[in-house]
Structure 1
Amino acid sequence: MSMSDSEIERLARGTLLSAFPGALPPRWLMEEVEKGLGGVTVFAINGNVPGTEELAALTAELRKAGDPLVTIDEEGGDVTRLTGHVTASPYPGNAALGAVDDPELTRRVYRSLGAELAEVGVNLNFAPSVDVNTAADNPIIGTRSFGSDPELVARHAAAAVAGTQEGGVAACAKHFPGHGATVEDSHLGVPIVDADMELLERRELVPFRAAIEAGTRAVMTGHLDLPAVTAGIPATLSPDAITGLLRGRLGYDGVIVTDALDMEGASGEIGIPEAAVRALIAGADLLCLGSREYHDSLRAVLAAIVEAVRGGRLPEERLADAAARTRALRDWLAERVPGTADRATGLEAARRAVRVSGGELPDWRGNGGAPLVVEVAATGNIAVGPTPWGLGPWAPDAVKAEGSAEEATAVLERADGRGLVIVLRDAHRHAGQRALTRALLAARPDTVVVEMGLPVWRPDGAVHLATYGAAHANAQAAAELLGLA
Structure 2
Amino acid sequence: MTDELTRLANSVLWPGFFGTRMPAWLRDALEQELAGVVYFGQNVSSDLALLSGEIHAANPDALIGIDEEGGSVTRLEVATGSTLPGAAQLGILDDIGASASTGAELARRAREVGVDVVLGPVADVNTDPRNPVIGVRSFGADAARVSRHVAATVQGLQNGGVAACVKHFPGHGDTHLDSHHALPVITLDPSEIEEVHLEPFRAAIAAGADTIMTAHIVVPAWGEQPGTLNPVVLGRLREMGFEGVIITDALDMAAVRESVGLGGGAVQALAAGADLLCIGNPTNPGDAAASDQDERDFLAARDAIVVALRDGTLARERVEQARDRVRALAAKLRAATPAQAQPFDGASIVARSLGVTGELDAAASALSVIDARRRSTLAVDSAASYVADALAGDGFRVRLDVTRATETERDAALDAAIAATAAEGRLVLLIDRPDVDADQRALIELAAARAPEAVVVNVGLAAQHPLPLPVIEVAAASRVGAEAARSRLLTP
1:279 aligns with 2:269: yes
Name the CA distance, whole Å, in 2 between partners of 1:408 and 1:168: 49
Distance 1:70 1:216, change over 3 A: same
Which aligned pairs between 1:205-244 and structure 2 lie closer than 5 A? Answer: 205-229=198-222, 231-243=223-235
1:314 offset after TM fit, Å?
A: 1.3
State whether residues 139 and 381 of structure 1, in contact with CA within 8 Å, keep that contact through their aligned partners in structure 2: no
Distance 1:31 1:460, change over 3 A: closer
Contact 1:134 1:181 survives alignment (8 Å) = yes
Aligned amino acid, residue 415 of structure 1 = T
Return the alpha-carbon distance in structure 1 between the equivalents of residues 157 and 478 of structure 2: 19
Matches within 5 A, 1:348-363: 348-363=348-363
Per the TM alignment, residue 397 of structure 1 is displaced from its structure 2 partner at its CA by 2.2
Q: In structure 1, what residue type is equivalent to 2:177? A: E
Identity %: 38
Single out whichever of 422-431 and 187-196 deviates more from structure 2. 422-431
Deviations 1:225-250 (A, max 9, x none): 00011x2211100011112x1112x1
Q: Kindly indicate whether the alpha-carbon contact (under 8 Å) linking 1:425 and 1:453 is maintained by their aligned counterparts in 2.
A: yes
Partner Cα separation in structure 2 for residue 195 and residue 459 of structure 1: 29
Contact 1:172 1:219 in 2 (8 A): yes
1:484 CA displacement: 6.8
Aligned residue number for residue 432 of structure 1: 439
Q: Which residue number in structure 2 is paired with residue 30 of structure 1? A: 27
Q: CA deviation at 1:18?
A: 1.8
SS in 1 for 2:233: helix
Answer whether contact 2:366 2:395 (CA < 8 A) is retained: no
* Conservation of the 8 A alpha-carbon contact between 2:474 and 2:485: yes
Partner in structure 2 of residue 479 of structure 1: 486
Q: Contact between 2:429 and 2:456, CA under 8 Å: does it hold in 1?
A: yes
Deviation per residue, 1:2-49 (Å, 9 max, x gap)? xxx93332222110012222222123222211211101111223xx11
Q: CA deviation at 1:156?
A: 0.4
Amino acid at match of 2:328: A
1:167 to 146, 160, 165: 160
Equivalence for 2:290: none
| Deviation larger for 373-382 or 313-322 | 373-382
Q: Which residue of 2 aligns with 1:309?
A: 309
State the alpha-carbon separation in 2 of the partners of residues 361 and 468 from structure 1. Answer: 22
Corresponding residue for 1:78? 72
Q: Deviations over 1:179-222 (max 9, x none)?
A: 00000000111101112221111111000000111011000001
Matched to 1:356, the amino acid is V
1:145 aligns with 2:138: yes
Q: Are the aligned partners of 1:115 and 1:339 in contact in 2 as well (CA < 8 Å)?
A: no
Instruction: Indicate whether 1:408 and 2:400 are aligned.
Output: no
Partner of 1:203: helix, strand, or coil? helix
Contact 1:285 1:326 in 2 (8 A): yes
3-state SS in 2 of match to 1:81 = coil
How does the TM-score come out when normalised to structure 2? 0.91
Aligned counterpart for 2:238 among listed residues 233, 240, 247: 247
In 2, Cα distance between equivalents of 1:431 and 1:460: 12
Partner of 2:288: none
Contact 1:98 1:152 in 2 (8 A): yes
Which amino acid is the alignment partner of residue 396 of structure 1?
Answer: D
TM-aligned CA deviation for residue 155 of structure 1: 0.4
Contact 1:412–1:440 (CA under 8 A) maintained in structure 2:
no
Letter in 2 for 1:254: G
Which residue does 1:124 correspond to in 2?
A: 117
Following superposition, the deviation at residue 103 of structure 1 comes to 1.1
Are residues 303 and 450 of structure 1, via their aligned partners in 2, closer, same or farther at CA, if it must alter by over 3 Å? closer
Letter in 1 for 2:305: I
Partner AA of 1:44 in structure 2: G
For residues 132 and 210 of structure 1, what CA distance do their matches in structure 2 show? 13
Distance 2:309 2:369 in 1: 60
**Is there any run of 5+ residues in structure 2 with no aligned partner, and where?**
283-292
2: CA distance, partners of 1:105 / 1:112: 10
Q: Deviations over 1:404-431 (max 9, x none)?
A: 6634344334336343322222223332
Matched position secondary structure for 1:174: strand
Q: Which range is displaced more, 148-157 or 407-416?
A: 407-416
In structure 2, what is the Cα distance between the partners aligned to 1:29 and 1:92?
33
Contact 2:252 2:297 in 1 (8 A): no
Is residue 66–residue 119 contact of structure 2 (8 Å, CA) maintained in 1? yes
Tell me which residue corresponds to 1:397.
395
Question: CA 1:208 to 1:338, structure 2 compared with 1: closer, same or farther past 3 Å?
Answer: same
Between 1:269-278 and 1:142-151, the stretch displaced more is 269-278
Q: Give the whole-Å Cα distance in 2 for the aligned partners of 1:425 and 1:457.
A: 13
Aligned-residue offset at 1:295: 3.2
Matched letter for residue 45 of structure 2:
P
SS in 2 for 1:380: coil
Partners of 1:339 and 1:113 in 2: CA distance: 13
Amino acid at match of 1:400: V
CA offset at residue 434 of structure 1? 1.4
1:467 to 458, 469, 474: 474
Structure 2: how far apart are the matches of 1:392 and 1:17?
Answer: 35
* CA apart distance, 1:436: 1.6
Q: Name the structure 2 match of 1:329.
A: 329
Cross-structure match for 2:250: 260
Pairwise CA distance, 1:343: 7.4
Name the residue aligned to 2:278: 288
Give 1:339 shift.
4.8
* Residue correspondences, number: 469
Q: For residue 379 of structure 1, what is the amino acid of its counterpart? A: R
Q: Is the 8 A contact 2:444 2:469 kept in 1?
A: no
Structure 1: where are the runs of 5+ without partners? Answer: none
SS of alignment partner, residue 218 of structure 2: coil
Q: Partners of 1:71 and 1:178 in 2: how far apart? A: 21
- Name the CA distance, whole Å, in 2 between partners of 1:161 and 1:256: 15
Q: Which moved more, 1:427-436 or 1:405-414?
A: 405-414
Q: Which residue number corresponds to residue 462 of structure 2?
A: 455
Is 1:318–2:315 an aligned residue pair? no
Q: What TM-score results when the alignment is normalised by the length of structure 1?
A: 0.92
- Give the superposition deviation at 1:473: 1.3
Higher relative contact order (CA 8 A, sep 6+): 1
